[in-house]
């Protein structure tokens, strides 16, 4: 079942969220502390922070891959602490699209098969029309003539565009991008990021990007800085 929106219109909200991990024989490690963040439909949020500041941990929590150790999180209308693991997986599949630095495409599958993969877990029209929907999404990211190519035959920028098509093919309400341009040269990264922001905006989805790159962060409309697990409003970087 896709996510419904909270009455204040929020897609996901975190209040006082902490993440602590226990390591055998060592003191518990606090990765996130007191994180407050609300994401609305159509939002474009950037989170910058040094390596090890907790960015991926925060993204994993936003995307229901991980859960807070303390604090409150509401995904749509559902308090996350009351969601079973199965419910979190279903909500993640229907409502969240992930984009990673290393593309994470399946090497043995064509571009079309890669983009169809999330639709294998969908129901109804999304399942039955998966080939057509995946083809249309690849067309949208400019790869309509590369449907049968495997990742090894595509450039880095093209592979990331396949990954964008795969992340968006189920029309997620929330798109989470973890260093989406980190493996690309500057010009390719800029065009891929512009495309991602454009297709996300077209679909009305919220886009949360974590990045080291001020130019990528500058495309967002709201900016945050994560420092040692503490999230603060950030200044807009110059484009
Ligand atoms: N499950 C875990 N067990 C132990 N330590 C962890 C775990 N997950 C994350 N950490 C530690 O928490 C800190 C934050 O990790 P995280 O991956 O969220 O940082 P990041 O800001 O995304 O870093 P980078 O930019 O290098 O990817 C790091 O010091 C990491 O080693």
Nearest atom in ligand 1 to 60's CA: 18
Contact 71, 48 (CB under 8 A): no
What is d(CA 138, CA 232) in angstroms, rounded to the nearest whole number?
Answer: 36
**Does the pTM exceed 0.80?**
yes
Supply 169's token pair: 């093919």
Pairing of strands 44-49, 70-75: unpaired
Residue bearing the CA closest to ligand 1, atom 7: 21
pLDDT value at residue 71: 97
Distance CA 61, CA 172 (A): 16
Q: What is the dihedral of CA 169, 12, 217, 170, to 10 degrees?
A: 0
Task: Report helix, strand or coil for 226.
Answer: strand
Residue spans per domain, the chain: 42-68+85-233
Tell how strand 29-39 and strand 12-21 pair up.
antiparallel
Best substitution site from 22, 35, 53 to test ligand 1's pocket, by max atoms within 8 Å of Cβ?
53
ipTM confidence:
0.94
Residue 239: pLDDT band with limits 50, 70, 90: very low
d(CA 148, CA 109): 9
Residues in contact with ligand 1 by the CB-under-6-Å rule are: 21, 23, 29, 31, 49, 51-57
Report the residue among 18, 21, 27, 31 best suited for mutation to probe ligand 1: largest number of ligand atoms under 8 A from its CB.
31
pLDDT digits (tens, 9 = 90+) for 105-131: 999 999 999 999 999 988 899 999 999
- Answer with the residue of higher pLDDT: 87 or 238: 87
CATH of domain 42-68+85-233: 3.40.50.300
């Amino acid at each position: 079942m896709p996510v419904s929106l909270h009455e204040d219109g929020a897609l996901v909200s975190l209040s006082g969220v902490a993440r602590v991990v226990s390591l055998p024989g060592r003191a518990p490690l606090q990765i996130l502390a007191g994180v407050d963040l609300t994401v609305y439909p159509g939002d474009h949020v950037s989170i910058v922070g040094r390596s090890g500041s907790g960015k991926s941990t925060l993204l994993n929590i936003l995307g229901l891959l991980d859960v807070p150790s303390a604090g409150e999180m509401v995904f749509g209308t559902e308090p996350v602490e009351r969601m079973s693991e199965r419910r979190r997986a279903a909500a993640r599949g229907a409502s969240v699209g992930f984009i990673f630095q290393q593309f994470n495409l399946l090497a043995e599958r064509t571009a079309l098969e890669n983009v169809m993969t999330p639709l294998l877990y969908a129901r109804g029209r999304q399942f039955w029309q998966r080939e057509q929907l995946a083809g249309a999404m690849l067309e949208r990211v400019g790869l309509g003539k590369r449907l049968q190519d495997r990742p090894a035959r595509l450039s880095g920028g093209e592979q990331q565009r396949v990954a964008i098509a795969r992340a968006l093919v189920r029309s997620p309400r929330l798109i989470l991008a973890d260093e989406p341009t980190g493996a690309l040269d500057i010009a390719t990264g800029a065009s891929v990021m512009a495309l991602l922001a454009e297709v996300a905006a077209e679909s009305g989805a919220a886009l949360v990007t974590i990045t080291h790159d001020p130019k990528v962060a500058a495309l967002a409309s709201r900016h945050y800085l994560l420092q040692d697990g503490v999230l603060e409003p950030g200044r807009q970087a110059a484009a």
